[in-house]
Structure 1
């Protein structure tokens, strides 16, 4: 099943009250309104896009090791997936889909990292729960997300809703600010230039990992040439 089909099925179950957490119409209206406002803001169109230079970063993995973009690109192209956190079921479905696609990514000479604002223990939980074999990097205070243009502040009514769900982002992220990255996926070539960018302010929509393969094939062909 394609990733978006899985996301749509989960959304239908959630909004249809078929999961343990049964949202009211008011709750759904708040969530839909926040998404619509983020779309209307146009921020996704102002984020880094294909052809831009990728911002440099050095972040820690869950074991505290420093991971630098420059070192990753020395090995080959890099797929970067920004996600919201371990508490987000849509993100977890995407991570699982990326794990399934990892052998194809590696076969094309590329590597994969995920980036979220959450703390190392929560990243370890993401890796464990989703059976991941690629690293999750902690973007403290969402500084790298800001550099890519995808960091946004949650509206107050959504903050109150998340608090009622016990989605305590300041605790998850060790950051008093209620901010998140828009879900985004990038392919960065060895030259540091973004070859593919997909940013969606609607967190229930994610591109299928299969979209990465033609991009990685082109980068591989360019290297061979």
Structure 2
């Protein structure tokens, strides 16, 4: 499925959904669908302050972006690309919230080393990743591979490593998903130009 097709459908009716279980692999994730409401979730800001994701979303239309971590070059490239459309998104009234399973300490290091035009949030408890239905377990071979690279992965309460499938959710101020893009292939990301085009289209609809 192409990026354009994956982001092409709008659903207006707000449907609620409870937090989901983590998938056994990236191909089996079951993300929130267009028209569904985001679950009540608490994430942490870079300084460690807990904050309600719903409260943040109520402030203005939001682009919720899930990424694997600052160690991921594909994620870093995607986040950095948003700087090119930052002014346009602000003019349209959007805020961008980038959520990863990284710890607060790792998030602080990332903020010091980079200049992303987004709000970086920690989901080290994996509540948002599970609630949005994009989290999955890694097999032991993959965990060993990442460990060999010096990458420390967040684990669930049973000690199993978890990552999110990279995803973007366009959410209105009522917490309803207007459009989304989720791809189990972490190397494939929508361009900044496409993100801006979708943002413009949604604002025109509303």
Shorter-chain TM-score tier: 0.7 to 0.9
Is 1:188 aligned to 2:171, yes or no?
yes
* C-alpha distance in 2 between matches for 1:194 and 1:111: 15
Q: CA deviation at 1:99?
A: 2.6
SS class of match (1:140): coil
Q: 1:101 to 1:56 in 2, by over 3 A?
A: farther
Distance 1:180 1:216 in 2: 26
Structure 1 residues not aligned, in runs of 5+: 1-36
Q: Does 1:42 align with 2:28?
A: yes
Conserved 8 A contact 2:64-2:99: yes
Question: What aligned pairs does 1:90-169 form with structure 2 within 5 A after superposition?
Answer: 90-169=74-153
Shift of residue 222 of structure 1? 4.4
- Pick the structure with greater CA Rg: 1
Show structure 1 runs of 4+ deviating over 6 A: none
Match of 1:209 in 2: 192
Question: More helix by proportion, 1 or 2?
Answer: 1
TM-score, structure 2 normalization:
0.79
User: Which digits, 9 at most, give the CA deviation of each residue in 1:136-173, with x for residues without a partner?
Assistant: 111023111011111111011111111222212259x9
Please give the root-mean-square deviation of Cα atoms over the aligned residues, in Å. Answer: 2.4
Give the CA deviation at 1:65: 2.6
In the TM superposition, what is the alpha-carbon distance from 1:180 to its structure 2 partner? 0.7
Change (3 A) 1:133 1:215: closer
d(CA) in 1 for partners of 2:112, 2:131 = 28
CA contact (8 A) 1:102 1:112 kept: no
Is the CA contact 2:37–2:175 (under 8 Å) kept in the aligned structure 1?
Answer: yes
